């Protein structure tokens, strides 16, 4: 059954806009988990414009389900992951000045590099996931890198869903099938929301995990955090 991991970056963005510690990111993580979320995701960037490295250190011992750290494996990021030992590290090729993640890895061109990174984290007992675009060749390439999972970058699906859901899901279904046939588990994330999540998971029911942040935290402004977490869980078939 698909697990829901909540990305709490946007909570940190609100805190950082004012300074101080309101809202308390660590408390939010604990509460989100208590509301039924099956994981917490953070994406610390080098400029720490939302989640800070200190947040990651503070949150790690508080999480009782799954802790997923995503980011570009630059030297400081690797050192942080080695220090806190999350359950999963998701490798994302975002530039330092990117507003948000906007592309997946070319797993063919970067095979040697990604293989070394995956091996490094595996030696520390950390599951790896590689962020990829909806392209079966990238899924097969990721398998050759030795990763455990891929995360499908779902922005294009979310953009195309309102006008033609079947067309929007088609490349993701093909990529997820290629990943499964290559022995990989599959995660998904980026712009998934209460309108498009159920269709995605009904079409690709073997998704292991969805990571949702921006839409979920935005919905919580209207519904409240607890009701929102439960609403997203309610869109996952079988829950």
Active-site positions read: 43, 70, 190
Distance CA 178, CA 139 (A): 6
Place of tokens 């797993």: 107
pLDDT higher than threshold 70 for residue 194:
yes
Is 18 inside a domain boundary? yes
Do the domain assignments include residue 122? yes
Quick: pLDDT tens for 172-188: 999 999 999 999 999 99
Longest dimension (CA), the chain: 48
Contact 7, 41 (CB under 8 A): yes
Residue 57's CATH number: 3.20.20.70
Q: Are 196 and 169 in contact (CB under 8 A)?
A: no
pLDDT above 80 for 97:
no
Residue 239 lies in a domain: no
pLDDT digits (tens, 9 = 90+) for 99-141: 566 789 999 999 999 999 999 999 999 999 999 999 999 999 9
For residue 133, tell me if it sits in a domain.
yes
pTM: 0.95
Domain of 125 in residue numbering reads as 3-234
Q: In this model, does residue 13 exceed pLDDT 60?
A: yes
Distance CA(209)–CA(185), nearest Å, equals 9
Q: Could you tell me how many residues make up the chain?
A: 239
The rounded distance, in Å, linking the Cα atoms of 238 and 157 is 22
Q: Please give the tally of structural domains in the chain.
A: 1
Band of pLDDT at residue 46, cut at 50, 70 and 90: confident
Cα Rg of the chain (Å, integer) = 17
DSSP string, 17-53: HH-TTSS-HHHHHHHHHHTT-SEEEE---TT-SSS-H
């Amino acid at each position: 059954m698909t697990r829901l991991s909540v990305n709490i970056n946007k909570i940190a963005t609100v805190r950082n806009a004012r300074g101080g510690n309101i809202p308390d990111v660590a408390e939010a993580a604990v509460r989100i988990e208590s509301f039924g979320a099956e994981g917490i995701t953070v994406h610390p960037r080098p400029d720490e414009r939302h989640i800070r490295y200190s947040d990651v250190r503070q949150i790690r011992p508080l999480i009782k389900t799954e802790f997923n750290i995503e980011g570009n494996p630059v030297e400081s990021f690797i050192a942080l992951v080695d220090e806190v030992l999350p359950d999963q590290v998701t490798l994302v090729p975002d530039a330092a000045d990117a507003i948000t993640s906007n592309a997946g890895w070319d797993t063919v061109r970067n095979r040697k590099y990604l293989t070394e990174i995956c091996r490094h984290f595996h030696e520390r007992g950390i599951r790896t996931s590689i962020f990829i675009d909806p392209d079966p060749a990238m899924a097969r390439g990721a398998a050759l890198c030795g990763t455990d999972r891929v995360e499908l970058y779902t922005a294009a699906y979310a953009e195309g869903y309102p006008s033609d859901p079947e067309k929007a899901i088609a490349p993701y279904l093909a990529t997820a099938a290629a990943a499964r046939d290559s022995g990989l588990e599959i995660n998904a994330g980026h712009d998934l929301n209460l309108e498009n999540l159920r269709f995605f998971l009904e079409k690709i029911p073997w998704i292991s995990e969805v990571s949702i942040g921006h839409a979920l935290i935005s919905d919580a402004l209207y519904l409240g955090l607890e009701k929102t977490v439960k609403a997203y869980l309610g869109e996952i078939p079988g829950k």
